[in-house]
Amino acid sequence: MKYMIIKLYDPKCLDDLMLALTAHDVRHAVVLDGRAVGSALMQEMPLFAGFRVDLDEPRGAMKVILALVQSDETARAIRDDLKDAGIDLSDPAIAKVFLLPIEELT
């Protein structure tokens, strides 16, 4: 079992991403609204408003998708299906994807 974390910077890709997850029997994924720390600092802390805070993240809103996938192969198949649909998850302007090994606490 793997934990797939996707930071999706292009909101136009969300529907295709959710369809790809569903097509590979990924159920109960969680979609969260998020924003980069630099963006939050500039908007919510006046001290930082005059500075350019560059934390190597795109500015503004993003979606964070958390999903359990069965294997590396499932994650690669999702990535390949999206690439075939014109969505390249390796493009840092579109997304960053992380895959972590996990084990369930019983």
Q: Is the residue at 106 inside a domain?
A: no
Q: Is the residue at 61 inside a domain?
A: yes
Note the pLDDT tens digit of each residue in 59-74.
578 999 999 999 999 9
Note the pLDDT tens digit of each residue in 19-38.
999 999 999 999 999 887 76
Range of the domain at 63: 2-101
Domain CATH number, residue 38: 3.30.70.2170
- Answer with the residue of higher pLDDT: 50 or 106: 106
Q: Is the residue at 38 inside a domain?
A: yes
**Reported confidence tier of residue 89, pLDDT bands at 50, 70, 90:** very high
Q: Is the residue at 54 inside a domain?
A: yes
Q: Supply the pLDDT for residue 41.
A: 65
Instruction: List the end-to-end C-alpha distance of the chain, in Å, as a whole number.
Output: 15
Read off the tokens for 50.
Answer: 């005059």
Summary mean pLDDT of the chain: 86
Domain total for the chain?
A: 1
Q: Is the residue at 34 inside a domain?
A: yes
* Residue 76 backbone class (left: φ over 0; alpha: ψ -120 to 50; beta: rest): alpha
Q: Is the residue at 39 inside a domain?
A: yes
